[in-house]
């Protein structure tokens, strides 16, 4: 069972190795890069939502912090992009911890409200601080380079993102099947039972919240450098919801479900472009149908179906 | 000195005095039962001692150290384990993982080491898996070693909770109605299991409605009624106590 979980990782790596050679043009390469970036964010978010049973409705805000750290700090202050990326991640981690600690001491849906509020505040701040952020129009992001080597072409970015994704899948699988991961899943399964075996529930919830926020921030920085431009839309509420939807559609508490959710929901708007004005309606309908017939998400439902067939 | 000393313990929920001025002490190594009619405050008493509730008044001492109002994870560190009357099994995990969670405090919980699959951490986890298997065998669940928790029958889950509590390597274990909802055969199995746990040197505190089991196993019995201590003593003493007879059979019995 445990070893079988890692088989999926080899398949993911194999696909990532082959993809750039079979993709017909740069449009698809761009699409795959965005899928992979989303997949890493969704992996982190799924640890929080699917495994630990918590919620964040403001994750795009953390993404925004990372993205704008990578845009603003090098542009206005001449910071090195790597330093800016780390600064963004650290700031995100500190902010997430500051917000999470008091919230997790409360019971109920306060976390949903708090993260919703936080995300919206961040998004408004990015829109309004126009002298730094370019306001609603956004701003360009300097190129990313280390040791004199500049990541300029999509091919470069593809390999960076492919490695990040593979490592994230591996690390997530490791984490889930470890004392830390078991404690996370246990507090989801029964909070009182996990407390009496000694799990410091608040600490674990805060840790995974901070971890997933930092993941989002780092990938926000990557997105910013890859696209070369940031806009406040990156941080807005709808993007947060989109990320949560990827988790739910792909499958809560499923590593591979996160990948499937991210791939599908990144591709779907492109595939539906032919419906012109109706694409949002079709998009919504597909989500509804998925939730009615596959309430546990694609991957867990299919896995259960196949498991029965054996 | 007694392992557990409870003095003048009370908790009020608004106007409801669920536990009122209860005092008793439990010596190490014995089986101590708490009985009483439904609503007598037995589970509340467990929740107080295991840190789920904070007492309104009174003191709880474990080995002389005051533990009243400490959080459950602090108590877990001091060797206090428990099971629940209404099952608290993590249905999102496999059976053996539920047992492994019991060993939480004995493991390296580092996030970074876990994510990077440090060999030492993996080795200890593999050793723990064997230990958990051994515990499942001890409680008679070896055939569920690979099962998902949500695919197991109720009687097995009751024992899975005991295995999880034992994985803590506790000094004292609180069993809240381990035989509730079990058929007579399963009840006898749990009876034997509790005896085995006690024989392994762990102090057992038991809440149970099955009187045969209680009388069979207990070295001492505490009787609660309406949150108050009605009687305390050996099985024979409690059985003769007129207050206890009145509470169980009605005042005119």
- How far does the CA of residue B103 sit from the closest CA of chain A (Å)? 7
Confidence (pLDDT) at A158: 96
Show residues of chain A in contact with B129, CB under 8 Å.
none
Tell me the sheet residues that pair with B35.
B223
- Interchain CB distance below 8 Å, B104 and A198: yes
| Tokens read off for B153 | 């029958």
| Tokens read off for B220 | 């001492």
- How far does the CA of residue B104 sit from the closest CA of chain A (Å)? 7
Nearest by CB: A190 against B71, B72, B90: B90
ipTM comes to: 0.90
What is the DSSP code string of A145-161? Answer: EETTEEE-SHHHHHHHH
| Topology (CATH) of A2-309 | ABC transporter involved in vitamin B12 uptake, BtuC (1.10.3470)
Give the span between the Cα atoms of B230 and B239, in whole angstroms: 12
- How far does the CA of residue B112 sit from the closest CA of chain A (Å)? 9
In the predicted model, what is the mean pLDDT of residues B190-195? 96
- How far does the CA of residue B108 sit from the closest CA of chain A (Å)? 7
- Interchain CB distance below 8 Å, A193 and B164: yes
Does any CB of chain A come closer than 8 Å to the CB of residue B200? no
Nearest by CB: A188 against B92, B100, B117: B92
Domain boundary assignment for chain A: 2-309
Residue of A nearest to B116 (CA): A171
Cβ pair A209, A202 in contact under 8 A: no
- Interchain CB distance below 8 Å, A185 and B97: yes
Q: For a pLDDT cut of 70, what percent of chain B falls above it?
A: 98
Residue of A nearest to B70 (CA): A196
Give the span between the Cα atoms of A252 and B141, in whole angstroms: 29
Does any CB of chain B come closer than 8 Å to the CB of residue A292? no
Cβ pair B9, B48 in contact under 8 A: yes
User: What H or E segment, with its residue span, contains residue A268?
Assistant: helix A255-271
Does any CB of chain A come closer than 8 Å to the CB of residue B152? no
Residue A7's CB: how many other CB atoms inside 10 A? 9
- How far does the CA of residue A195 sit from the closest CA of chain B (Å)? 6
Tell me the pLDDT tens digit for each residue of A193-241: 999 999 999 999 999 999 999 999 999 999 999 999 999 999 999 999 9
The pLDDT mean for chain B works out to 93
What structural domains and CATH numbers belong to chain B? Answer: 1-79+170-253 (3.40.50.300), 92-168 (no CATH)
Cα→Cα distances A152→A157, A227, B60, B65, Å: 8, 10, 67, 65
Give the span between the Cα atoms of A67 and A266, in whole angstroms: 19
Does any CB of chain A come closer than 8 Å to the CB of residue B130? no
Show residues of chain B in contact with A50, CB under 8 Å.
none
SS3 B61: strand
* Total residues belonging to chain B: 253
The answer for residues whose C-beta is within 8 angstroms of residue A274's C-beta and 6 or more apart is none
Tens of pLDDT along chain A (310 residues) come to 456 789 999 999 999 999 999 998 999 999 999 999 999 999 999 999 999 999 999 999 999 999 999 999 999 999 999 999 999 999 999 999 999 998 888 766 788 899 999 999 999 999 999 999 999 999 999 988 777 778 878 899 999 999 999 999 999 999 999 999 999 999 999 999 999 999 999 999 999 999 999 999 999 999 999 999 999 999 999 999 999 999 999 999 999 999 999 999 999 988 888 887 888 888 888 888 888 888 889 899 888 888 654 3
What's the pTM value of the predicted model, to 2 decimals?
Answer: 0.92
Show residues of chain A in contact with B48, CB under 8 Å.
none
Confidence (pLDDT) at A310: 36
Show residues of chain B in contact with A174, CB under 8 Å.
114-117
Residues 160-199 of A with CB under 8 A from B: 170-172, 174-175, 177-183, 185-186, 188-190, 192-199
Give the span between the Cα atoms of A56 and A211, in whole angstroms: 12
């Amino acid at each position: 069972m445990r070893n079988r979980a890692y088989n999926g990782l080899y398949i993911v790596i194999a696909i990532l190795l082959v993809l750039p050679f079979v993709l017909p043009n740069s449009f698809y390469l761009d699409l795959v890069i965005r899928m992979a970036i989303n997949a890493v964010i969704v992996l982190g978010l799924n640890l929080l939502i699917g495994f630990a049973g918590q919620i964040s409705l403001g994750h795009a805000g953390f993404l925004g912090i990372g993205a704008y750290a990578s845009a603003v700090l090098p542009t206005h202050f001449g910071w090195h992009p790597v330093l800016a990326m780390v600064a963004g991640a650290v700031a995100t981690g500190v902010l997430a911890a500051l917000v999470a600690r008091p919230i997790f001491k409360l019971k109920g849906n306060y976390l949903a409200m708090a993260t919703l509020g936080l995300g919206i505040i961040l998004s408004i701040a990015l829109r309004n601080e126009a002298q730094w952020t370019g306001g609603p129009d956004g701003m360009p992001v300097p190129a990313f380079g280390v040791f004199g080597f500049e990541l300029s072409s999509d091919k470069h970015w593809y390999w960076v993102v492919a490695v990040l994704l593979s490592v994230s899948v591996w690390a997530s699988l490791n984490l889930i099947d470890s004392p830390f991961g078991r404690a996370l899943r246990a507090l989801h399964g029964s909070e009182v039972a996990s407390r009496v075996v000694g799990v410091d529930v608040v600490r674990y919830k805060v840790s995974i919240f901070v971890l997933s926020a930092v993941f989002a921030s780092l990938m926000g920085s990557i997105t910013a450098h890859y696209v070369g431009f940031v806009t406040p839309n990156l941080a807005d509420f709808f993007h947060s919801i989109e990320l949560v939807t990827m988790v739910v559609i792909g499958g809560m508490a499923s590593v591979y479900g996160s990948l499937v959710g991210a791939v599908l929901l990144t591709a779907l708007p492109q595939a539906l472009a032919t419906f012109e004005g109706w694409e949002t309606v079709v998009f919504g309908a597909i989500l509804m149908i998925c939730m009615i017939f596959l309430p546990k998400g694609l991957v867990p439902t299919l896995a259960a179906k196949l498991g029965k067939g054996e | 000195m007694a392992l557990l000393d409870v003095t003048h313990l009370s908790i009020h929920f608004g106007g409801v005095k669920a536990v009122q001025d209860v005092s008793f002490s439990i010596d190490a190594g014995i089986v101590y039962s708490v009985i009483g009619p439904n609503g007598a405050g037995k589970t509340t008493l467990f929740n107080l001692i295991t840190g789920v509730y904070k007492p309104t008044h009174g003191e709880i001492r474990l080995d002389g150290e005051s533990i009243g109002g400490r959080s459950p994870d602090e108590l877990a560190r001091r060797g206090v384990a428990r099971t629940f009357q209404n099952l608290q099994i993590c249905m999102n995990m496999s059976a053996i993982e539920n047992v492994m969670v019991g060993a939480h405090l004995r493991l390296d919980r580092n996030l970074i080491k876990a994510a990077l699959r440090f060999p030492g951490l993996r080795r200890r986890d593999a050793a723990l898996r064997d230990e958990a298997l051994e515990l499942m065998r001890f409680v008679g669940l070896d055939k569920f070693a690979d099962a998902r928790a949500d695919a197991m029958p109720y009687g097995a889950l009751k024992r899975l909770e005991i295995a999880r509590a034992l994985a803590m390597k506790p000094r004292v274990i609180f069993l809240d109605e381990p035989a509730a909802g079990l058929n007579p055969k399963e009840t006898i199995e749990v009876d034997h299991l509790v005896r085995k746990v006690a024989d392994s040197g762990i102090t057992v505190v038991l809440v149970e409605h099955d009187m045969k089991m209680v009388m069979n196993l207990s070295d001492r019995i505490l009787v609660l009624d309406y949150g108050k201590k009605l009687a305390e003593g050996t099985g024979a003493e409690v059985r003769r106590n007129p207050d206890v007879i009145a509470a169980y059979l009605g005042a005119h019995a």
